[in-house]
Homo-oligomer: A and B are copies of this chain.
Amino acid sequence: MLSKACEYGIKATVFLAQQSEKEKLANVKEIAKAIQSPEAFTAKVLQQLVQKSIIQSVKGAQGGFFIDKKVLKKITLMQIVAAIDGEDIINNCVLGLSHCSEKKPCPLHHKYKKIKIDITNMLQTSLVSELAVGLTQKLSVLTG
């Protein structure tokens, strides 16, 4: 469903959102520890998110990553997924047909349609900030 890179990206962003609420930077080492992910690989994912302006970075000693407070409340999961995995998850046919459509549907098209819409909705309406609140309130976890 989601690539490992994307899973890391989502978890890292939620963690960063939590830190940014406290006006804190977090560096790769802290992030990788918080989400139990390989450090170097996580660094690559963070780079992608910086390039797409979803998160921001500060170079040099005492540097790290953070999320701009102005945009923090508007970041959706869809933005992260699109940045890392692209929009395949929303566009692609469940059986891999290139031109699956209402007119020329694959055998599973109609049965899968609603699921795809639900996934799209989940990604588009889930705010990173909201997930971070749940984390802070210990209603959810990033590891285990």
Given A107-B131, A134-B107, verify A144-B11 contact (CB < 8 Å).
Answer: no
Least Cβ distance of A84 to chain B in Å?
13
- Within A1-20, which residues are at the interface with B (CB < 8 Å)? 1-2, 4, 7, 10-11, 14
Task: Give the A interface residue count (CB, 8 A).
Answer: 40
Copies of this protein in the assembly total: 2
CB distance from A94 to the nearest CB of B (A): 6
Tell me if A118 counts as interface (CB < 8 A to partner B).
yes
Cβ of A51 within 8 Å of any chain B Cβ, yes or no, is no
Q: Is A96 an interface residue (CB 8 A)?
A: yes
* Contact mask for chain A residues 57-84; partner B; CB cutoff 8 A; 1 contact, 0 none: 0000000000000000000010000000
CB distance from A66 to the nearest CB of B (A): 19
CB distance from A71 to the nearest CB of B (A): 19
A binding-site residues for B, Cβ under 8 Å? 1-2, 4, 7, 10-11, 14, 77, 89, 94-100, 104-109, 111-112, 114-115, 118-119, 122, 126, 131-132, 134-135, 139-144
